Chain A
Amino acid sequence: MSIEFENVSYIYNPGTPMQAQGVKNVSFKIKEGTFTALVGHTGSGKSTIMQHLNGLQKPSSGKVKIAGYELDSKTSDKGLNQLRKKVGLVFQFPESQLFEETVLKDVMFGPKNFGFSEKEAETQAKKWLKRVNIAEKLFSKSPFDLSGGQMRRVAIAGVLASEPDILCLDEPAAGLDPQGKKEMFQIFKNYQTEGHTVILVTHEMNDVARYADNMLVMDGGELAISGKPKDIFKDSEWLAQHHLSAPSAVEFGHQLQNSNFKFDTLPLTVDNLADSIIDNLKEGPHE
């Protein structure tokens, strides 16, 4: 289930004084089963790209090919329901979309809209609530009685319960404590290894380094670059030009390289970095 953007441009409020370019001539491909990070600073067009994935926005020009659908400026809203079943979107602070009387009902809401039977929806909801670590005794509670972190997990279960082929998340861990964040990312990484495509919209380069196979960098509504994190993070000057920081491990690695360390491949994570440091030290002096 690959994703392809062909020369996609999107203009907000065309023909009014508020007209604004969302994205311009964006083309890229995402392979099935990969973990892709979509990065760029605020206002770079990331969320416009995200909303093109399930037809919430349709290209003003160009084409989006996703999950067997082709979206262009003429695509009508009718029939997009099944696309939205295949492409799950988790927006920033998704807990603000909860509305049902009970946790279980809220998680069943999506699957039911997508044509699951009552029973199937319940089975799916229970399965995913357990996987996001919500205790069974909370299923019948009002979602508004839960803690912020729990609400977040319920909202995410509400999207996962339909088991979309493609899952796109916008800053899913914002505001969570370190432990909550770690658990959250483990869930997404597992979802990918089970054969789904995951797209993560984020500012946090450490998360990108840790989890993503590919990255797309947006800047000023255009795709600045796409590729593997280890290639993109190499060029710190280029990153700075595009208002991006490097992951901490990369930054630290650069400092070591400026002195007497040599790395064959750029260490992206703490673990990589520690291994590379030890290898360097074993190889003996470089001066």
Chain B
Amino acid sequence: MSKIILGRYIPGNTIIYKMDPRGKIMITFLYIIVIFLANNWLTYLILTLFTLGAVATTGLKPKVYWDGIKPLIWLILFTSILQLIFTSGGRIYWQWGILSITEYGIQNSIYIFLRFVMIILISTVLTLTTTSLQIADALAWILNPLKYINVPIEQVSLVMAIALRFVPTLMDETVKIMNAQKARGVDFNSGGLIRRAKNIVPILVPLFINSLTIALDLSIAMESRGYRENAPRTHYRALKWSKYDYINLGYFVVLTLVLLIFRTK
């Protein structure tokens, strides 16, 4: 559960960790679009090399990437196989009714497979090396223009940061409550669906009440520490564009140019 809420950030110290999350998010987004520029063996090879290059800079074990791909592997294989047997054109190797394995079919299914894997890899690079808080800060910056149409971006980003801060606290709280109720004889592992659903109540009610307590305490503490809703505030946690971000940008621009040159027109 913690993985879903907290993202999969793994602490590290390579240059990719030092890059500005704003750059990382935007370039990851563009990278996914650029993946679709590849349309022949050479461009797919180049794309694969660049993607693996990005993966390598994280300095993380291949297993963590495999963990990212694993849940989607059946979907990827299924789509690739559909491509394989429904695409026609080129030399025919095997045929049965409308199903056939053709030269283009093989080619397309491999392209689709690579495309999927690379989208997952490149977004995994982002989530593994960027904390949720950095992502929230970067999104707040990217969405900043919305304040001109009266969206309270300031408050929203503070709320997001505080919410992320309290995720581990609430998880701890949940474990504590579950243990306390187990000690009072609740058996979370057996019983039918209805019984199991009923067993959630002794967890949810205390969790809800405790969250309210936290919220009340927190609001008093914030006010006591001088927080005013609409007053101007400085920002200590600042995002800084550095030389590493030019490397990031350069890497992406080179990839795009190379793909544009070598793709089949």
- A residues near B, CB below 8 A? 17, 51, 54, 56, 77-78, 81, 84-85, 88-89, 91, 94, 96-99, 109-110, 112-114, 144, 158-159, 162
Contact status B210-A56, CB under 8 Å: no
CB-defined contacts of A158 to chain B, threshold 8 Å: 184
Within 8 A of A (CB), among B177-197: 177, 179-187, 189-190
CB-defined contacts of A162 to chain B, threshold 8 Å: 185
Partner of A99, one of B176, B182, B201: B201
Contact status A159-B206, CB under 8 Å: no
| Complex CA–CA separation, A51 to B176 (angstroms) | 11
Closest A residue to B179 using CB positions: A56
Shortest CB–CB separation between residue A208 and chain B, in angstroms?
A: 23
Chain B, interface residues (CB within 8 Å), range: 20 to 34
| Complex CA–CA separation, A186 to B24 (angstroms) | 61
- Whether B159 sits at the interface, judged by CB under 8 Å, is no
- Whether B209 sits at the interface, judged by CB under 8 Å, is yes
- Whether B167 sits at the interface, judged by CB under 8 Å, is no
Contact status B185-A114, CB under 8 Å: yes
Closest A residue to B186 using CB positions: A113
- B residues near A, CB below 8 A? 10, 173, 176-177, 179-187, 189-190, 201-202, 205-206, 209-210
CB-defined contacts of A109 to chain B, threshold 8 Å: 184-185, 202
Contact status B189-A85, CB under 8 Å: no
Shortest CB–CB separation between residue A226 and chain B, in angstroms?
A: 24
Partner of B184, one of A78, A96, A113: A113
Closest B residue to A93 using CB positions: B176
Contact status B187-A81, CB under 8 Å: yes
Shortest CB–CB separation between residue A69 and chain B, in angstroms?
A: 15
User: Given the interface contacts A51-B179, A78-B190, does A97 sit within 8 Å of B206 by beta carbon?
Assistant: yes
A-B contact count (CB 8 A): 62
CB-defined contacts of B185 to chain A, threshold 8 Å: 81, 84-85, 109-110, 112-114, 162
Contact status B177-A96, CB under 8 Å: yes
Closest A residue to B10 using CB positions: A17
CB-defined contacts of A78 to chain B, threshold 8 Å: 189-190
CB<8 Å pairs between A and B, sample of 7: A77-B187, A91-B176, A91-B179, A96-B180, A110-B185, A113-B184, A158-B184
Contact status A56-B184, CB under 8 Å: no
CB-defined contacts of A94 to chain B, threshold 8 Å: 180
The secondary structure that dominates the B interface is helix
Contact status A159-B184, CB under 8 Å: yes
CB-defined contacts of A97 to chain B, threshold 8 Å: 177, 180-181, 184, 202, 206
Closest B residue to A95 using CB positions: B206
Contact status A99-B202, CB under 8 Å: yes
| Complex CA–CA separation, A99 to B205 (angstroms) | 6
Shortest CB–CB separation between residue A9 and chain B, in angstroms?
A: 20
| Complex CA–CA separation, A147 to B181 (angstroms) | 22
Closest B residue to A91 using CB positions: B180
| Complex CA–CA separation, A88 to B210 (angstroms) | 23
Closest A residue to B202 using CB positions: A99
| Complex CA–CA separation, A85 to B186 (angstroms) | 11
Contact status B183-A159, CB under 8 Å: yes
CB-defined contacts of B205 to chain A, threshold 8 Å: 99
| Complex CA–CA separation, A109 to B182 (angstroms) | 11
CB-defined contacts of B176 to chain A, threshold 8 Å: 91, 96
| Complex CA–CA separation, A91 to B190 (angstroms) | 24
By Cβ-Cβ distance, the 10 closest A-B pairs, closest first, are A113-B185, A99-B205, A97-B180, A110-B184, A89-B183, A114-B185, A99-B202, A91-B180, A99-B206, A77-B189
| Complex CA–CA separation, A91 to B172 (angstroms) | 13
**Among the interface residues B176, B184, B201, which one has the most CB atoms of the partner chain A within 10 A?**
B184
Contact status A96-B210, CB under 8 Å: yes
CB-defined contacts of B210 to chain A, threshold 8 Å: 96
Contact status B183-A84, CB under 8 Å: yes
**Among the interface residues A89, A112, A113, A144, which one has the most CB atoms of the partner chain B within 10 A?**
A113
Shortest CB–CB separation between residue B5 and chain A, in angstroms?
A: 16
CB-defined contacts of B201 to chain A, threshold 8 Å: 99
| Complex CA–CA separation, A168 to B12 (angstroms) | 41
Shortest CB–CB separation between residue B229 and chain A, in angstroms?
A: 29
| Complex CA–CA separation, A99 to B181 (angstroms) | 10
Closest B residue to A89 using CB positions: B183
Contact status A54-B202, CB under 8 Å: no
Closest B residue to A97 using CB positions: B180
| Complex CA–CA separation, A114 to B182 (angstroms) | 11
| Complex CA–CA separation, A84 to B182 (angstroms) | 8
Closest A residue to B184 using CB positions: A110
Q: What 12 new A-B contacts, CB under 8 Å, besides A54-B183, A109-B184?
A: A84-B182, A84-B183, A85-B185, A88-B183, A91-B180, A96-B209, A97-B180, A98-B209, A99-B202, A99-B206, A113-B185, A158-B184
